[in-house]
Amino acid sequence: MHFFTSKLINNLALLPTINEILQNRDNNSQEYFENYIMFLSLCPPEHETKNMFKEVEKSYKHDLEANKLMQTLVKIRLSDDIIRVTPEFLNEFSHMKLFNNDPHNIHKSLFRKYLIQHNLGIFKKYFSQVKLQRISEMIAIEVNEVEQELADMCINKHIYAKINRINLTVNFKPKQEAADKLNDMNFDLGKMLEVIETTCHLIDKENLKFDIK
């Protein structure tokens, strides 16, 4: 797949679609299929990347069933499961062609980096605040690397995160402005008044039905 270069990895708009790739593969080559998924895994875990993984999962089930390693990789990037980025896990992919033809280990570095960022995106989805040490233990990387990848994701506007260096926690929830807090309170108050009004109406209805005074 020589049309892929390192410059394309961060520009999904330039990546060929899965259908364009597989329509051109010779003799239904499984290697073509593997290369596409592996190069896609070198892209940041953003919305466009996830959509392309979904397209693979939806349209090429038989290819994935025939290649359990690629099936695992697609499931990882589409799931909300935390993956421990251990050397043992990474070694499962070490034989892939794009790693063997990578003398400077650029592809290996990106592959690991975006697995880590995939995990951090899951933390952001389910936690408003969490200890850096807890993240480190769950995904099997050092705390300083957790901080580096969080910073990278924030710079690229993939997530919001703020690190408290006093208690070593990361906060994924943006601080609300006073106007936003007031709007939320007004909305909650309005919903509560609706419930009270509905309840009073039902009580009056029951009183009339049973002639309760």
Q: What is the dihedral of CA 134, 139, 142, 148, to 10 degrees?
A: -100
Q: Structure pTM? A: 0.72
Domain ranges of the chain: 176-213
pLDDT over 70 at 3, yes or no: no
Element (H, E) at 62: helix 61-65
CB hemisphere CA count around 149 (13 angstroms): 26
Q: Which one is predicted more confidently, 12 or 47?
A: 47
Which residue from 104, 117, 124, 101 is spatially nearest to 38, judged by alpha carbons?
A: 101
Higher pLDDT, 177 or 199: 199
8 Å CB contact between 45 and 158? yes
**Average model confidence (pLDDT) across the chain:** 83
Alpha-carbon separation of residue 64 from 51, 170, 177, 186, 187 (angstroms): 17, 37, 47, 50, 47
pLDDT greater than 60 at residue 18? no
Q: What is the mean pLDDT of residues 25-52?
A: 83
- 183-199 pLDDT per residue, tens: 656 666 767 777 787 88
pLDDT at 152: 95
For 112-129, how does the pLDDT look when each residue is reduced to its tens digit (9 = 90+)?
Answer: 999 999 999 999 999 999
Name the token pair of 122.
């899951």
How would you write 148-203 as a 3-class SS string?
A: HHHHHHHHCCCCCCEEECCCCEEECCCCCCHHHHHHHHHHHHHHHHHHHHHHHHHH
SS3 (DSSP) at 131: strand
Tokens of 60: 């090429």
Q: What are phi and psi of 2, to 5 degrees?
A: -75, -15
